[in-house]
């Protein structure tokens, strides 16, 4: 099982971090040890003082595929959910300033929090509305109609380089509104009015 992530896939998020809007998908990966499931709490690591939340729509790959034609890409996932890509922003900024890889800032243990998954057939995948609620207040509002690179394009693009396998998770990018977590925070991820994810910071 692989966790494949897409950076800067919403223009407003790229702008808020003063990054250029990409002309091709920006791909990075997390190991299986990054998974945080079943509503377990996220324990704030001591190597960072600026961990950010980034809520994302997550696709669960349902069958193996290599060099997938975009026309058939929608057949490679059947379920959709929400995930939080926890990012050590201070570490990431330091690594970027040295032109170094981001892995330490993105791939650390429990940095990929996921919730329940929902059948895609019951949803309009071209315009999914999702929200991150922090301590009762909405901090991120996203809609997949604002994606720079669509789900089908991402599946086709990534599979040119990396074989997709059943059970892989694809984090598809975060909208604007990312911010710092604090110990004691409670987060909920809502997709089309359904709460699919819950996570407390300890």
Range 28-34 average pLDDT: 97
Are residues 180 and 52 in contact, defined by beta-carbon separation less than 8 angstroms? yes
123-145 pLDDT tens trace = 999 999 999 999 999 999 999 99
Report the domain count for the chain: 1
For the beta sheet containing 169-171, the strands, ordered from the edge strand earlier in sequence to the opposite edge, are 26-30, 3-7, 169-171, 55-61, 77-85, 112-119, 35-36
pLDDT of 11 above 80: no
What is the rounded average pLDDT for all residues in the chain? 95
Range 1-24 average pLDDT: 82
The pLDDT score that the predictor gives to residue 3 is 98
The pLDDT score that the predictor gives to residue 15 is 63
Would strands 186-191 and 35-36 be described as parallel, antiparallel, or unpaired?
A: unpaired
Residues above pLDDT 90, as percent of the chain: 92
Would strands 35-36 and 77-85 be described as parallel, antiparallel, or unpaired?
A: unpaired
SS3 for 134? strand
Range 64-88 average pLDDT: 98
Task: Give the pLDDT band (50/70/90) at residue 31.
Answer: very high
Domain of 180, CATH number, reads 3.90.850.10
SS3 for 157? helix
Range 56-60 average pLDDT: 98
pLDDT of 6 above 70: yes
Query: In sequence order, what DSSP letters do the residues of 29-92 get, joined into one string?
Result: EE-GGGEE-TTPPBPPPTT-S-EEE-EEEEEEE-S-BSS--GGGGGGGEEEEEEEEE-EEHHHH
pLDDT of 17 above 70: no
The pLDDT score that the predictor gives to residue 21 is 76
Question: What is the distance between the alpha carbons of residues 136 and 147, in angstroms, rounded to a whole number?
Answer: 26
The pLDDT score that the predictor gives to residue 116 is 97
Residue range(s) defining the domain that contains residue 109: 3-200
36-54 pLDDT tens trace = 999 999 999 999 999 999 9
Question: What is the distance between the alpha carbons of residues 107 and 69, in angstroms, rounded to a whole number?
Answer: 29
The pLDDT score that the predictor gives to residue 95 is 94
Are residues 117 and 79 in contact, defined by beta-carbon separation less than 8 angstroms? yes
pLDDT of 14 above 60: no
């Amino acid at each position: 099982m692989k966790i494949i992530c897409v950076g800067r896939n919403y223009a407003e998020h790229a702008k808020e971090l003063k990054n250029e809007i990409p002309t091709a998908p920006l791909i990075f990966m997390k190991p299986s040890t990054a998974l945080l499931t079943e509503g377990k709490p996220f324990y704030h690591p001591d190597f960072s003082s600026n961990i950010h939340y980034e809520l994302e729509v997550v696709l669960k790959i349902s069958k193996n595929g290599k060099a997938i034609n975009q026309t058939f890409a929608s057949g490679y996932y059947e379920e959709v959910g929400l995930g939080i890509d926890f990012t050590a922003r201070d570490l990431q900024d330091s690594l970027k300033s040295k032109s170094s890889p981001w892995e330490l800032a993105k791939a650390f243990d429990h940095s990929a929090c996921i919730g329940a998954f929902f059948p895609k057939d019951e949803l309009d995948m071209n315009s999914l509305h999702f929200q991150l609620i922090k301590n009762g207040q909405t901090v991120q509002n996203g809609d997949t109609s604002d994606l720079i690179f669509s789900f089908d394009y991402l599946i086709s693009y990534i599979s040119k380089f990396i074989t997709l396998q059943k059970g892989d998770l694809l984090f598809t990018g975060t909208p604007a509104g990312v911010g710092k977590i604090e110990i004691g925070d409670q987060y909920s991820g809502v997709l089309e009015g359904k709460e699919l994810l819950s996570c407390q910071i300890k």
